Amino acid sequence: MPLDTPLLTAPELNVLVRHRVPDVFIFDCRFSLADEKAGLRAYAEGHIPGAYYAHLNRDLSDMSAPPSEGRHPLPEPAAFCAWLSRHGAAPHSRYVAYDDAGGAIAARFWWMLRTQGAMDAQVLDGGLPAWTGAGGELEPGQPPASPEPAVKPSWPVRPWPVVSREDVRRAAAAGHLIDARDARRYHGIEEPIDPVAGHIDGARNLPFKELLAADGHLLPREELESRWRSASAHPSSSVVYCGSGVTACHLILSAVAAGFRPPRLFAPSWSGYIAQEGLSGP
């Protein structure tokens, strides 16, 4: 039965870990755009007991895809599901994803799981800082080897429910296209990553970081609902994007946490859009 919230608290996770509840898969999603090995190093230094490691570039993206698919293209659904199967993880398993960035990366994994039929997936609210702040222990070491299970779980392998460029144009015209990046990037004042600054015409700005409290937890449900209604008259009909299709998933997470149906994802996001449009920097 699907869980009624996309978020899990640190004390709730502690119960699962302490009692070694079966068929629970915890994934550490820490990652740095500046150093793609930093997350794995941090994992090795200390992670939630029993957690596996999900690498944004290697496990949650297909970096061989063309630029039109964005900086973090989604992998083929079959490849993602096969990776999960190698861990012995099934659609009916329970999942908890965490990072140290307010859920910015973990939400991408959560969204991928949910759209492939794993409805018992949650993000650790407040991430690793919440875990350690609540007295949770860490264990050092490299990711455990995943022995091939005797019977690999079967996955439905669904196409990613993403939108096209034409869908993006329609959403923009209706006032339902939402940009998850911070205001300075949205307004084109600065662009530290992509070759072109700015935003898709007609997009509105709802920075995902502004939906987080100072301690990295998501804002209370009522506040999330208010922020979303200010950004879009119909949050559940919205299309979201960011720089590369990662933090936009955090907007989807926040919308679901606020009680809305999941907005749709424009996976290529700004980096893919400028490539599709043939835009280039100075």
* DSSP code, position 172: H
What's the CA gap between 69 and 267, in Å, rounded? 7
Contact indicator for 35, 152 with CB cutoff of 8 Å: no
The number of angstroms, rounded, from the C-alpha of 255 to the middle of its chain's C-alpha atoms is 13
Name the residues annotated as catalytic: 242
> Where are any strands of DSSP class E within the chain?
7-8, 24-28, 52-53, 94-98, 121-124, 177-179, 204-205, 239-241, 264-265
Instruction: Region of 61 please: left (phi>0), alpha (psi -120 to 50) or beta.
Output: beta
Sequential DSSP letters for 87-111? TT--TTSEEEEE-SSTTTTHHHHHH
